[in-house]
Amino acid sequence: MSAADTTPANWVDVAYLMTAICFIFGLRYLSSPKTARLGNRISAVGMVIAVVATLAQGIVNWWVIGSALVVGAAIGIVSAQRVKMTAMPQMVALFNGAGGGAAALVAAGELLKVFRAGVIPTYDVSFTSVLSAVIGAISFAGSIIAFLKLQEVMTGRPITYPGQQFVNAIIALVILVCWGLVVANVPNSLEYFWIALVAAFVLGILFVLPIGGADMPVVISLLNSFTGLAAASTGFVLGNNVLIVAGALVGASGTLLTILMGKAMNRSVTNVLFGAFGAVKTTTGGAAAKQQNVRSVSADDVAAMLAYANQVIVVPGYGMAVAQAQHSIRELADQLEKKGVEVKYAIHPVAGRMPGHMNVLLAEANVPYTSLYDMDDINPEFERTDVALVVGANDVTNPAARADKNSPIYGMPILDVDKAANVVVLKRSMNSGFAGIDNPLFDDPKTVMLFGDAKKSIDGVVAGVKAL
Amino acid sequence: MTAHLLTELTIFILAVFVGMEVISKVPTTLHTPLMSATNAIHGIVLVGAILVAGALDPPFNAIVGFVLVLLASLNVFGGYTVTERMLQMFRPRVQAPKTPTDGQS
Are A193 and A108 a contacting pair, CB within 8 Å? yes
Chain mean pLDDT for chain B: 85
Non-local CB neighbours of A383 within 8 Å, separated by 6+ positions: A419, A420
Strand partners, A422: A387
Confidence of residue A275 (pLDDT cuts 50, 70, 90): low
Lowest mean pLDDT among A77-91, A147-161, A221-235, B25-39: A147-161
Q: Which of A215, A395, A416, A438 is catalytic?
A: A395
Q: Residue A24 has what pLDDT?
A: 96
Which is more confidently placed, A269 or A223?
Answer: A223
Q: In a 10 Å sphere around its CB, with 0-12 CB exposed, 13-18 middle and 19+ buried, how is residue A64 labelled?
A: buried
User: Cβ A24–B22 below 8 Å, yes or no?
Assistant: yes
From the candidates A64, A224, A324, which should be mutated to test the interface with B, based on the most B CB atoms within 10 A?
A: A64
| Mean pLDDT value across residues A287-292 | 49
- A122 vs B contacts (CB less than 8 Å): 2
> What are the tens digits of pLDDT across the range B39-52?
999 999 999 999 98
Residues from chain B that touch A1, judged by Cβ atoms under 8 A, are 7
Q: Which of A64, A231, A330 sits opposite B62 (nearest CB)?
A: A64
Per-residue pLDDT band at A115 (split at 50, 70, 90): confident
- Please report which confidence band the pLDDT of residue A280 belongs to, taking 50, 70 and 90 as the band edges: very low
CB contact under 8 A, A256 and B20: yes
- A231 contacts in B (CB within 8 Å)? 42, 44-45, 48
Q: Which of A12, A16, A27, A144 to mutate to test the interface with B (most CBs of B within 10 A)?
A: A27
Query: Tell me: the pLDDT tens digits for A368-386?
Result: 989 999 999 999 999 999 9
For chain A, give the mean pLDDT: 88
Residue A277 has pLDDT above 80, yes or no: no
Dist. CA A269–CA A409, nearest whole Å: 15
B45 φ/ψ angles, rounded to the nearest 5 degrees = -60, -15
Look at residue A278 in the predicted model and tell me its pLDDT: 42
- Predicted confidence (pLDDT) per residue in A181-201, tens digit: 999 888 888 899 999 999 999
Minimal Cβ distance to A249: which of B38, B65, B66: B38
ipTM of the shown complex: 0.88
Catalytic (active site) residue A13: no
Q: Mean pLDDT throughout A129-135? A: 95
For residues A265-286, average pLDDT: 59
